[in-house]
Amino acid sequence: MIFLIFYKIMSKLTIAIQKSGRLKDDSMSLLKSCGIAVQNGKNQLKTSARNFPLEIFYLRNSDIPQYVSDGVADIAIIGENTVIEKGKNIETVGRLGFSKCRVSLAVPKNVNYTGLSFFNGKKIATSYPNTTQSFFKEKGIEAQIHLIAGSVEIAPNIGLADGICDIVSTGSTLFQNGLKEVEVMLKSEAVLVKAPKLLPDKDEILNKLLFRIQSVLEAGSHKYILMNVPNEKIEAVTKLLPVLKSPTILPLAIEGWSSLHSVISKKNYWEVIDQLKSAGAEGILVSPIETMIR
């Protein structure tokens, strides 16, 4: 019994994160926003959170799905495109909304691209052979896939391939290498994945982490708003604020006026503000939200 209690106290959830690059930076920023303090030394490959039962492994991006599938890491933050490419037995438990990109086909700018049939019999350089092959098979295209570990953009320029399949964020790398994006195969973002089987105590820690992540992500998509409203117009203004069950309404020192506090979606808040002004709201203040718990 004493051993079981000690095990439960000492149990930690292990998370795999890309060891360098933008995905690592965004992942660590998310953990920080969740109130998780990590001692992140230079060139460190493993560390632990100081205030949450979480151990972090910094791994190569392409290796992460295997670590999670084998249960070496309990969970991971990784690009959805890598999960699809590796095809491992892991479950996506949350979409994180950052590190967005797309996996696309590109050809030289001077090529007269008329459609997918262009790729029949062509040589395609890629770091995503499984994704590319699966896409072409679904579309009835027969192409030669050449696996390249990195810098696939140079392949058409040196005569190695007629086109490429690669991840695209802004398209600037394609432009710099004389290529143009012609087909989007899939869209991707960072996701949280977990191993096929987790012990109950680790599953409990994961649920606590997911709760924090969801609260942070929801806060990032909303803004806090407060305004002064004539009492006779409160009902009309309230109808424009559907995010929360009910706004907070406080009387002002000036008779006949109230201060109304609520939350609005970040996506279209300028349009909502225009509507609020038209409905009679004045002195509107908008500020970011750190955490949003429903």
Condensed to tens digits (0 to 9), the pLDDT of residues 6-53 reads 444 558 999 999 998 899 999 999 999 999 998 776 677 889 999 999
Q: Compute the half-sphere exposure of residue 105: CA atoms within 13 Å on the CB side of its CA.
A: 23
Contact 94, 191 (CB under 8 A): yes
Check residues 246 and 127 and name the one with the higher pLDDT: 127
Task: State how far the Cα of 107 lies from the Cα of 165, in Å rounded to an integer.
Answer: 9
Q: What is the pTM of this model?
A: 0.83
Q: Set out the domains of the chain in order of their start, with CATH numbers.
A: 2-98+190-219 (3.40.190.10), 101-188 (3.40.190.10), 222-288 (3.30.70.120)
Mean per-residue pLDDT over the chain, rounded: 90
243's tokens: 């995010």
* β-pair type (101-108, 163-168): antiparallel
Report the share of the chain in percent with pLDDT over 90: 70
What pLDDT score was predicted for residue 79?
94
Which amino acid does the sequence have at 99? S
